[in-house]
Structure 1
Amino acid sequence: MDTGSHLLFGVTLAGMSLAVPAVAAHSELQYAILAATLLGSHAPDFDSVMRLRGPSAYIRNHRGLTHSLPAPLAWAPLLGLPIAWLFGAGAWSGIVILWTLFAVCFHIVLDLFNAYGVQCLRPFTRKWLHLDVLCLFDPYLFAAHGAAALLWLFGYSQAVAVFEFVYAMTAAYLLWRIVVYRNVMAHISAHYKLDRAHITMLPTFFGTAWQFVIDLGDEYMTGYFKHGRVNEVTRLLKAKPESLAEAAKATMIAEGVRAFHHFSERIHVKVQEEVDGYLVTWSDVRFWHHRRLPFTAAVTLDRNLNVLTDQIGWNKKTWQPPFV
């Protein structure tokens, strides 16, 4: 999810830790846990430093190793121990480490619910896993946790009970979103008489509709599911290795294209002939919106099919859909 949401969840986790008698009785432990859950809630995204090596390196590594299976076990003591010492809570370092672990794990779980996905089962597999049931920013989760944090900030005496209620509702909400996703998926699957493996879905911002991509073999079909109805939007040719144009094949050596194929699943390619060469654009159809394909790897070639430039990334603003 987005950085702001992760940090907010770090605050509410710290608030819920007050249910532990030792935490409620010692202010230094409370401050230590607040610092630990804030950092722990953001720690997996420290891989954003890979942006310094360029967009290709970032695409390859973001939500990879730092979100992997052993990562929480490394982040928890790495952050928890020095924070406990810094705040004079060394005697309760085990508690600080435990709440840091909760924060890191919650971060990874929430990212798993997003369409971008995580490599959370490394080192056993490098496959990108994604449940596709939450946007990058979920307004309902943010509002609920934000309200609980504000009550705590203004000294509400029953804040701990509020935090416990909010986290219980968060778990129920996540389960409900999975149920809704599966019901919509079943409807679309039955409508087109296709196996679910051929269908990818993303929720809209308020969760009232779903956009989908269906793999039809030689092409992809995009559309919306809203109010129980399926609405088709467009069809795009599938980028099949055996039918690629020579210009498209020539771009496979470009770092941006290699990073794109490392991450993307539903791939469309467009080759445009220009005065002095070619422009080849690879797009991930999963992230279509209003007939646009904002996640791309674009490569320019000369007439001899030599790579001149390549770039990969999102051709949209952060606040524009799709929210992944």
Structure 2
Amino acid sequence: MDTGTHVVMGIALGGLATLDPAVASSHVTTTSVLIATIVGSQIPDIDTVLKLRNNAIYIRNHRGVTHSIPAVILWPLLLTAIIYPFFPGTNLLHLWAWTFAAVFIHVFVDIFNAYGTQALRPFNSKWVALGWINTFDPFIFAIHVLGIIAWILGAHPGFTFLVMYTIILGYYIKRYQTRKRVLVEVRSLIPDATEIIVAPTMKFHQWRIAAMNENIFFVGRSVDGKVEILDRFKRIPVPNTPVIEAAKKDHNISAFLSFSPVYRWEVDEYDDYYEVRFIDLRYRSNGHYPFVAVVQLDSELQPIRSYTGWVFSEKKLRKKLGVIPG
């Protein structure tokens, strides 16, 4: 989920913790647990700072080791050790337990996004991405905000957020059922599909679709249960040419390929350089595919410049590459 949603989830979990007698009976424990759930709901995303270095490192590592099984165990221990000295009268066991809940829930809900996490590391480095809930879901965010407002106005936080989470559980089930119906419809349109990706959007009844069979990539969308195929691309295997092999060694290209499960490729040859481009097919927006990786190679197949990330026009991509002054 996005940062804002994780913040309100941390506050809500701190409110829910007031149903715990050990928390409710002690002001110092209530305060320490609220701080711990807010921080614990954020700490797995500390790897976001990697974006300050470059997109390639961020793509390779975001939601990786910081969301792994060892991290889910270690983050609560670390936060408890930091917070407890400031609240020495708090119930240490319950402080740890609610901190653990905050960290676990953060990683757990991220699994339901299309981006996913490597939550099974170190046993499996596969990205776990169920694709039920958008990274920012307006309903989930709004109901948390309403619960927090109700708490400020005097409602009992524990029962308020217990009701809220019951509603959210039903919402998740509904999202699963809706996505399943879309998947069935796609399979009826492409019965020989070897892979189908159905990804959520911020709109409840709108989904992105990327699928493939042995010969074709299909890109589409579902709106109000109706599936529409918008683009088709011939599925051409990436060749083992010297240009492609040199491109794959570039850090931006290799990061993209480690993350993207469905993409097409292009190679253009100019007077004094080659340009290799990989285009993720999952994020079609207004006829454009904004998530790309591009590398330019000189005649000796040495990288000149490269980029991976989100760009919404060719002009902006050229600026990112430094071809056009920013």
TM-score by length of 2: 0.90
Distance 2:137 2:153 in 1: 24
Distance 2:205 2:9 in 1: 24
Contact 2:182–2:227 (CA under 8 A) maintained in structure 1: no
Contact 2:205–2:225 (CA under 8 A) maintained in structure 1: no
Q: CA deviation at 1:228?
A: 3.0
Secondary structure of the structure 1 residue equivalent to 2:277: strand
Letter of the aligned partner of 2:309 in structure 1?
G
* Structure 2 residue ranges without an equivalent (≥5): 314-326
Letter of the aligned partner of 2:263 in structure 1?
I
Distance 2:202 2:25 in 1: 41
* Structure 1 residue ranges without an equivalent (≥5): 318-324
Pick one of 303, 310, 318 that aligns with 2:306: 310
| Deviation per residue, 1:208-235 (Å, 9 max, x gap) | 1212011122331111122332211112
Q: Which deviates more from structure 2 when the two are superposed, residues 51-60 or residues 96-105?
A: 51-60
Matches of residues 114-263 of structure 1 in structure 2 within 5 Å?
A: 114-156=113-155, 158-195=156-193, 198-238=195-235, 240-241=237-238, 243=239, 246-263=242-259
Q: CA deviation at 1:101?
A: 0.8
Contact 2:276–2:295 (CA under 8 A) maintained in structure 1: yes
Aligned residue number for residue 284 of structure 1: 280
Distance 1:67 1:281 in 2: 30
Distance 1:210 1:119 in 2: 23
Q: CA deviation at 1:109?
A: 1.2
Q: CA deviation at 1:293?
A: 1.5
Secondary structure of the structure 2 residue equivalent to 1:147: helix
> Aligned pair in 2 of structure 1 residues 159, 309: CA closer, same or farther (>3 Å)?
same
Distance 1:18 1:245 in 2: 62
| Deviation per residue, 1:98-138 (Å, 9 max, x gap) | 11111111111111111111000001111111001111100
Distance 1:166 1:287 in 2: 31
Distance 1:138 1:152 in 2: 22
State percent identity of aligned pairs.
32
Contact 2:269–2:275 (CA under 8 A) maintained in structure 1: yes
Distance 2:192 2:92 in 1: 53
Q: CA deviation at 1:70?
A: 2.3
Letter of the aligned partner of 2:113 in structure 1?
N
> Aligned pair in 2 of structure 1 residues 121, 273: CA closer, same or farther (>3 Å)?
same
Distance 2:133 2:207 in 1: 11
Distance 2:89 2:134 in 1: 37
Contact 1:81–1:93 (CA under 8 A) maintained in structure 2: no
Distance 1:249 1:89 in 2: 61
> Aligned pair in 2 of structure 1 residues 228, 170: CA closer, same or farther (>3 Å)?
closer
| Deviation per residue, 1:287-316 (Å, 9 max, x gap) | 222222211111011233321111111225
> Aligned pair in 2 of structure 1 residues 83, 73: CA closer, same or farther (>3 Å)?
same
Q: CA deviation at 1:244?
A: 5.8
Distance 1:109 1:207 in 2: 21
Would you say how many aligned residue pairs link Structure 1 and Structure 2?
Answer: 313
| Deviation per residue, 1:64-122 (Å, 9 max, x gap) | 011012221111111023212212344x0110111111111111111111111100000
Aligned residue number for residue 69 of structure 2: 69
Does 2:8 correspond to 1:8?
yes
Distance 2:252 2:235 in 1: 19
Q: CA deviation at 1:239?
A: 5.3
Q: CA deviation at 1:51?
A: 2.5
Q: Which deviates more from structure 2 when the two are superposed, residues 264-273 or residues 50-59?
A: 50-59
Q: CA deviation at 1:275?
A: 3.8
Contact 2:293–2:309 (CA under 8 A) maintained in structure 1: yes
Tell me which stretches of 4 or more aligned residues in structure 1 moved more than 6 Å. Answer: none
Letter of the aligned partner of 1:108 in structure 2?
V
Root-mean-square deviation (CA, aligned residues, Å) is 1.8
Letter of the aligned partner of 2:185 in structure 1?
H
Distance 2:259 2:235 in 1: 16
Does 2:294 correspond to 1:295?
no
Secondary structure of the structure 2 residue equivalent to 1:137: coil
Aligned residue number for residue 37 of structure 1: 37
Aligned residue number for residue 110 of structure 1: 109
